[in-house]
Amino acid sequence: MPSTVPHTGPYDSDFDDPLFDVDLVGYEPDSQERSTALLAHLAGYAGLAVPFGSLLGPFLVYVLKRDESAFVEDQAREALNFQLTMALAALVSAVLIVVMVGLALLLVVGIWWLAGTAIGASRANRGEWYRYPATIRFVK
């Protein structure tokens, strides 16, 4: 784990816990951190098998593993925010089925959910501090 230094890092404003204000210049997450971050993103696919699994999977990784490293906390939070945004978009699309645009929007949201989750997982596995585009930051 890198040394603790006040107010540094690629997304310092995202870290509310001073424990995770770390000097990340030249820092590469180790393979365990990358694997846990990968799991946080891929846990979103739990929604294919379990109702609300797409929210529950990243939430559990966030709650259970966030104290292990700044990288895991950041990526689990990012995965949870993406899954919450996709759930909200799917809900709005489902309501808009009444006015005939919801079905097309639901298809777009579904494709973006599948592809976005895969992209986030692959980036986390490479050790990148990935940010999903067009995601509402519910959990800070």
Q: What is the pLDDT of residues 28-85, one digit of tens each?
A: 899 999 999 999 999 999 999 998 999 999 999 999 998 989 999 999 999 999 999 9
Query: How far is it, in rounded angstroms, from Cα 25 to Cα 21?
Result: 12
Tell me if the pTM is above 0.85.
no
Q: Specify the pLDDT at position 80.
A: 97
Q: Specify the pLDDT at position 21.
A: 52
Higher pLDDT, 9 or 115: 115
Give the closest residue to 138 by CA, choosing from 84, 92, 91: 84
Total H helices, total E strands in the chain: 4, 0
Query: How far is it, in rounded angstroms, from Cα 74 to Cα 78?
Result: 6
**DSSP-assigned letter for residue 45:** G
22 band by pLDDT with thresholds 50, 70 and 90 = low
Query: How far is it, in rounded angstroms, from Cα 23 to Cα 114?
Result: 33
> Per-residue pLDDT for 135 more than 90?
yes
Task: Tell me which of 6-15, 36-45, 60-69, 118-127 is least confident.
Answer: 6-15
